[in-house]
Amino acid sequence: MTRFISVAKGASYAITAALLIAAAPALANEGHDLTFAGDGTFVAPHGGQAIEVAVFDVTAGEVVATDAGHVAPEEGPAFSFTFAEVLEEGKLYDVHYWIDSNFGSGSEGSCDPVNVDHQWRVALTDVTEPVSLEVAHDPAEQAPVCTSFE
């Protein structure tokens, strides 16, 4: 009789373990890294100026990561930021960034209108792996993004 109980307990543990494994929620996908850089075309107009970058979750309507630095005064890359594990598969993101250029006026350290501080938005879609994004200085492609930095 003792032997039968022992087998039943062993079988019971095996069944319980199998049920726990089957009922366990799937582990969430780890996020993917984003490396965001500006090429050497930023150096001449913005060398030494402050830059801020935000990763914006389009669906949630919120900033999920930020960083700040300065545009290199000489040679490219002009800037480079790495956001570890910030991008999740199936989500849409924008990279928002602005340079505190204060062309003609503006406030030091504040994101001013597009004609004063250069600002851009870059869309990221179909994220399935780490993303390396390098952008060039293109004033014609500016978009207002100051609200991401308030």
Q: Cα–Cα distance between 45 and 33 in angstroms, integer?
A: 29
Q: Cα–Cα distance between 74 and 91 in angstroms, integer?
A: 36
CB 144 within 8 A of CB 114: yes
Q: In this predicted model, what pLDDT tens digit does every residue of 90-145 receive, in sequence order?
A: 899 999 999 999 998 999 999 999 999 999 999 999 999 999 999 999 999 999 99
Taking residues 78-86, report their average pLDDT: 98
How many alpha carbons lie under 13 Å from residue 9 in its C-beta half-sphere? 6
- Adjacent-strand bridge partners of 94: 56, 123
pTM of the model: 0.80
- Which residues, other chains included, contact 46 with Cβ-Cβ below 8 Å and sequence gap of 6+? 71, 78, 99, 101, 118, 137
Q: How many beta carbons lie within 10 A of that of residue 51, not counting itself? A: 21
pLDDT of amino acid 29:
58
Q: In this predicted model, what pLDDT tens digit does every residue of 11-44 receive, in sequence order?
A: 443 433 343 334 444 444 589 999 999 999 999 9
pLDDT at 6 over 80: no
Domains and CATH numbers, the chain: 32-149 (2.60.40)
For residue 126, is it left (φ>0), alpha (ψ between -120 and 50) or beta?
A: left
**End-to-end CA gap in the chain:** 73
